[in-house]
């Protein structure tokens, strides 16, 4: 670890929402020993997207300076369900479902992390072995008053919404993970602030030096409103084909470009500032800035050559109104076919993943962003006989195309 400490700190703090505390992190770095940097993941969805990659890329930065990534797979806690930000109790998953997600996620995680500097743990190895006396002992380390400092818990109680005991225990479980692996630093999204600080408190209770907490902002999704989420459909998966990834980035609202440059790329901050200033003052077309952003992201997860090809494909389709070289086929979901043999177009657009919801699909139709065989559809309630859709070319937005099949 020959990199100067101030240089490391500058990299770690890039884009960070909070660092608790900079002084503690500097002191840990000054000792000269590789830090154990923890990131917990609850495998409750099958794909890694750019929002999740924000914190994974931060973990990789620690690895690049010689530190050790401690990846905690929440095979036990995923069966509880993280209540963070939820207004109701989450569905509990069974172990087979959780482990199925784990196997799908592993190769995606190591597209970002260095496997040689990653230690993988499963928290069922310690949480699953606790007896009831151990649980009571763990619970004695924290007060009810502290738990109820969580805004989401307090709001649910104030609104007479159920708050289950297993949800109250969740922060203690996550916090105990830090004790089990003796982490020096814990990474997380800004919504994990409470859970990560519980880890600091529990480490003190168990006689360990408290971990530093580094929180990253939540990446806003393609809709420009909600955080990126697979359940909302507003995400860009890191394993998506280059053309699809490029096109999705190009569909971002202009106001998100700075956010994405800082959190999703390695473009120097002074260059990001310059690009933003130039497009806001009219010296450069914001579309060209977004093409740079899309190229940077595709290069990270694919290659510079594929980014160049995706850029050329985008220009051909967007500027010259040509069809892409390859048009995917999409099967019309059987459950969307009504008893009279018709399909509502808005439901179809959402059903094949071209919009996160029926309401968003209707908005796209009303905005003139949907064509069927080159003809614009403007009625958000439009329906078509299923046989009439067979083989038709559907275009949604500027860059999403599909050949429909029954």
264 and 336 fall within a common domain: no
Percent of residues, the chain, with pLDDT higher than 70: 93
Q: Round to whole Å and give the CA distance between 29 and 23.
A: 10
pTM for the full predicted model:
0.79
Of 20, 40, 305, the C-alpha closest to 188 is: 40
210 and 252 fall within a common domain: no
Beta strands per DSSP E along 158-247: 185-189, 212-216
Tell me whether residue 7 is exposed, middle or buried, using C-beta atoms within 10 angstroms of its C-beta: 0 to 12, 13 to 18, 19 or more.
exposed
281 and 344 fall within a common domain: no
93 band by pLDDT with thresholds 50, 70 and 90: low
Of 226, 397, 252, 235, the C-alpha closest to 324 is: 397
Instruction: Domain of residue 350: give its range.
Output: 329-405
Could you give the number of structural domains in the chain?
A: 3
Residue 301's pLDDT is what?
Answer: 96
65 and 211 fall within a common domain: yes
Asked if 345 and 365 touch (Cβ cutoff 8 Å), the reply is: yes
Of 289, 319, 349, the position where a domain reaches its end is 319
User: What are the pLDDT digits (tens) for 342-381?
Assistant: 999 999 998 888 887 788 788 888 878 898 888 889 898 9
123 and 271 fall within a common domain: no
CATH code of the domain covering residue 53: 3.40.50.620
166 and 309 fall within a common domain: no
193 and 246 fall within a common domain: no
User: What are the pLDDT digits (tens) for 212-246?
Assistant: 999 999 999 988 888 998 877 788 999 988 988 99
Q: Round to whole Å and give the CA distance between 224 and 253.
A: 6
Residue 54 lies in a domain: yes
205 and 354 fall within a common domain: no
Q: Round to whole Å and give the CA distance between 393 and 406.
A: 13
β-bridge mates for residue 401, sequence order: 395
143 and 288 fall within a common domain: no
191 and 263 fall within a common domain: no
73 and 131 fall within a common domain: yes
CATH code of the domain covering residue 291: 1.10.240.10
Question: Coil, strand or helix: which one is 227?
Answer: strand
Of 274, 296, 319, the position where a domain reaches its end is 319
């Amino acid at each position: 670890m020959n990199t100067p400490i101030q240089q490391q700190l500058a990299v770690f703090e890039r884009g960070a929402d909070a660092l608790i505390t900079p002084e503690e992190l500097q002191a840990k770095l000054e000792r000269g020993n590789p830090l154990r940097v923890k990131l917990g993941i609850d495998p409750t969805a099958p794909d890694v997207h750019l929002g999740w990659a924000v914190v994974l890329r931060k973990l990789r930065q620690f690895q690049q300076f010689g530190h050790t990534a401690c990846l905690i797979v929440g095979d036990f806690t995923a069966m509880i369900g993280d209540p963070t930000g939820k207004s109701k109790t989450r569905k509990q998953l069974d172990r087979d479902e959780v482990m199925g997600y784990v196997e799908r996620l592993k190769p995606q995680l190591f597209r970002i992390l260095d496997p040689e500097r990653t230690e993988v743990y499963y928290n069922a190895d310690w949480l699953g072995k606790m007896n009831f006396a151990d649980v009571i002992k763990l619970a004695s380390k924290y007060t009810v008053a502290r738990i109820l400092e969580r805004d989401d818990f307090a709001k649910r109680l104030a609104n007479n919404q159920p708050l289950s005991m297993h949800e109250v225990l969740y922060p203690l479980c996550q916090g105990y993970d830090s004790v089990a692996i003796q982490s020096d630093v814990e990474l997380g999204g800004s919504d994990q602030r409470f859970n990560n600080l519980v880890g600091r408190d529990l480490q003190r209770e168990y006689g360990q030096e408290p971990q530093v907490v580094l929180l990253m902002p939540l990446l806003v999704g393609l809709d420009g409103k909600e955080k990126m989420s697979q359940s909302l459909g507003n995400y860009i998966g890191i394993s998506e084909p280059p053309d699809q990834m490029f096109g999705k980035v190009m569909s971002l609202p202009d106001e998100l470009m700075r956010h994405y440059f800082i959190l999703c790329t390695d473009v120097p901050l002074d260059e990001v500032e310059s690009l933003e200033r130039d497009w806001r003052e009219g010296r450069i077309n914001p579309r060209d800035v977004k093409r740079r952003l899309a190229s940077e992201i595709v290069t990270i997860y694919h290659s510079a050559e594929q980014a160049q090809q995706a850029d050329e494909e985008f220009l051909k389709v967007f500027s010259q109104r040509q069809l892409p070289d390859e048009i995917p086929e999409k099967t019309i979901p059987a459950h969307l076919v009504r008893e009279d043999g018709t399909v509502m177009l808005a439901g179809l657009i959402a059903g094949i993943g071209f919009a996160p919801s029926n309401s968003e699909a209707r908005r796209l139709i009303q905005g003139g962003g949907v064509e069927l065989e080159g003809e614009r559809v403007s009625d958000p309630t439009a329906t078509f006989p299923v046989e009439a859709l067979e083989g038709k070319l559907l275009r949604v937005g500027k860059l999403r195309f599909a050949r429909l099949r029954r």
